[in-house]
Amino acid sequence: CYTTDALAFFREYKGDFEAEQGQELRELEKISLPEHVQDNEFATLYRQKKYRVSLSPMAFAVLVEFLEARDNEGGKVILNLINAHVEVATLNRAATARGLQKLMEEKEKSGRMGELGEDEGIQGHHPGSTNTDVHAVGTLSKLSLAPMPMEPDLMEDVKADLSHEDSVHPPVNGQSTLVDQFEENIKQEPADDAAPNRDQIPFPPSTARDVAMEVQKVKENRDRFRIEGRSGGIGPGLSVTMFTFHNTFDSVNCIEFSGDNTLAAIGTAESYIRVWSLDNRPLVSPQDPPGSQPSSSRRLIGHSGPVYALSFSPSAAIPEQSSNGDTTASAATDSQPRYMLSCSADSTVRLWSLDTWTNLVVYRSHNSPVWDVRFCPHGHYFLSCSADRTARLWSTPQIAPLRIFVGHDSDVETIAWHPNGAYVFTGSGVGDKTVRVWSIVNGNQVRIFTGHTGNITAISCAPNGHLFASGDDKGEIMLWDLRTGRRTKTLKGHHKGGVWSLDWSVESSVLVSGGADKTVRVWDVQQNKETQNKPNGDSVTKIDGATVGASSTTSKPGKAKGPVVSPDQISCFATKKSPVYKVRFTQMNLVMAGGAYLEQA
Across 121-130, 142-151, 499-508, the highest mean pLDDT is recorded for 499-508
Q: Could you tell me the strand order of the sheet in which 263-268 lies?
A: 252-257, 263-268, 272-277, 297-301
Q: Is 50 exceeded by the pLDDT of residue 486?
A: yes
Q: What is the pLDDT of residue 553?
A: 35
Local structure of residue 82 (DSSP, 8 states): H
Q: What is the dihedral of CA 385, 390, 396, 399, to 10 degrees?
A: -130
417 shares a domain with 530: yes
Checking if the pLDDT of 289 tops 50, the result is yes
Alpha helices (H) in 188-322, listed in sequence order: 208-223
Q: Which of 510, 492, 575 is nearest to 114 (CA)?
A: 492
Residue 518 inside a domain? The answer is yes
Domain end position, chosen among 110, 139, 165: 110
Same domain, 244 and 289: yes
pLDDT class for 242, splitting at 50, 70, 90? Answer: very high
Could you tell me where the beta strands, DSSP code E, fall in 497-578?
Answer: 499-504, 510-515, 519-524, 539-541, 547-549, 569-574
The reported pLDDT for the residue numbered 42 is 73
Write the pLDDT tens digit of every residue in 6-58. Answer: 888 888 887 777 666 666 777 778 887 877 887 777 777 777 778 878 787 88
The phi and psi torsions of 8 (rounded to 5 degrees) equal -65, -40
Do residues 219 and 364 both lie within one domain?
A: no
Radius of gyration of the chain (CA): 26
Mean pLDDT of 78-107: 68
Cβ distance 153 to 522 under 8 Å? no
Based on the fold, state whether residues 176 and 261 are members of the same structural domain. Answer: no
Residue 459 near residue 441, CB atoms below 8 Å: no
Per-residue pLDDT band for 176 (boundaries 50, 70, 90) equals: confident
User: Does 539 have pLDDT greater than 60?
Assistant: no
CB under 8 Å to 434, separation ≥6 — which residues? Answer: 123, 408, 427, 428, 448, 449, 450, 452, 456
Calpha distance 222→212 (Å, rounded): 16
Looking at the structure of the chain, the number of domains it has is 3
Of 223, 249, 267, which closes a domain?
A: 223
Give CA–CA dist 293/274, Å, rounded: 17
Which of 188-197, 218-227, 279-288 has the lowest average pLDDT? 188-197
Alpha-carbon distance 83 to 79, whole Å? 6
Paired residues of 390 in beta bridges: 406
Query: Residue 437 and residue 449: Cα distance in Å, rounded?
Result: 9
Element (H, E) at 272: strand 272-277
What's residue 535's pLDDT? Answer: 36
Q: Is residue 307 part of a domain?
A: yes
| 587 and 517 inside one domain | yes
How do 263-268 and 272-277 pair as beta strands?
Answer: antiparallel
- 498 burial class (0-12, 13-18, 19+ CB within 10 angstroms)? buried
Q: Is residue 118 a part of any domain in this protein?
A: no
Q: Are 550 and 536 in contact (CB under 8 A)?
A: yes
pLDDT tens digit sequence for 319-352: 765 555 555 444 555 678 999 999 999 999 999 9
Q: pTM to 2 decimals?
A: 0.79
Decide if pLDDT at 126 tops 50: yes
If one compares 136 and 36, the residue with the highest pLDDT of the two is: 36
Both 101 and 163 in one domain: the answer is no
- In a domain, residue 122? The reply is no
Q: What is the CATH number of the domain that holds 60?
A: 1.25.40.500
Domain assignment present for 219: yes
pLDDT (0 to 100) of residue 115: 57
Percent composition of the chain: helix, strand, coil (DSSP 3-state, to 5): 25, 30, 50
* pLDDT tier at 555, thresholds 50, 70, 90: very low
pLDDT over 60 (residue 522) = yes
Same domain membership, residue 244 and residue 215: no
128 in a domain, yes or no? Answer: no
* Together in a domain, 195 and 248: no
- For 103-106, which contacts have Cβ atoms below 8 Å and span 24 or more sequence positions? none
Structural domain boundaries, residue 577:
240-319+331-596
262 in the same domain as 217: no
Higher pLDDT, 346 or 179: 346
**Mean pLDDT within 307-321:** 86
The string of DSSP letters for 152-182 reads HHHHHHHHHHHHHHHHHSPPPTT---HHHHH
> Which of 161-175, 314-328, 476-490 has maximum average pLDDT?
476-490
**Hey, what's the torsion of the CAs at 567, 573, 575, 576, to 10 degrees?**
70
* Same domain flag for 201 and 262: no
Task: Determine which of 193-197, 338-342, 583-587 has the lowest per-residue pLDDT on average.
Answer: 193-197
- Residue 89: is its pLDDT beyond 80? no
Choose among 449, 430, 451: nearest CA to 438.
449
Kindly state the percentage of the chain with pLDDT values over 90. 45
Please indicate, yes or no, whether residues 24 and 79 belong to a single structural domain of this protein. yes
User: Are residues 345 and 306 in contact, defined by beta-carbon separation less than 8 angstroms?
Assistant: yes
How far apart are alpha carbons 256 and 151 in whole angstroms?
30
Q: Is the pLDDT of residue 560 over 50?
A: no
**Is residue 416 located within the same domain as residue 298?**
yes
- Which position has the higher pLDDT, 37 or 265? 265
The yes-or-no verdict on residue 510 having pLDDT over 60 is: yes
Determine the residue type at 330. Answer: S
pLDDT above 70 coverage of the chain, percent: 79
Where do runs of H (alpha helix) occur along 290-432? 329-334
Mapped onto helix, strand or coil, the DSSP state of residue 470 is strand
Tell me: the pLDDT tens digits for 355-399?
Answer: 999 999 999 999 999 999 999 999 999 999 999 999 999 999 999
Residue 117 in any domain: the answer is no
HSE value, Cβ hemisphere, 13 Å, CA-based, for 560: 5
- Residue scoring higher pLDDT (468 or 528): 468
Per-range mean pLDDT, top range of 79-88, 503-512, 542-551:
503-512
CATH number, position 268: 2.130.10.10
Q: Which residues have CB under 8 Å from 76's CB, separation 6+?
A: 67
CA distances from 213 to 56, 216, 334, 439, 582 (A): 55, 5, 9, 26, 24
Rounded average pLDDT over 136-141:
66
Domain annotation covers residue 55: yes
Q: Which of 163, 189, 223 is the last residue of a domain?
A: 223
For residue 284, pLDDT over 80 is answered with: yes
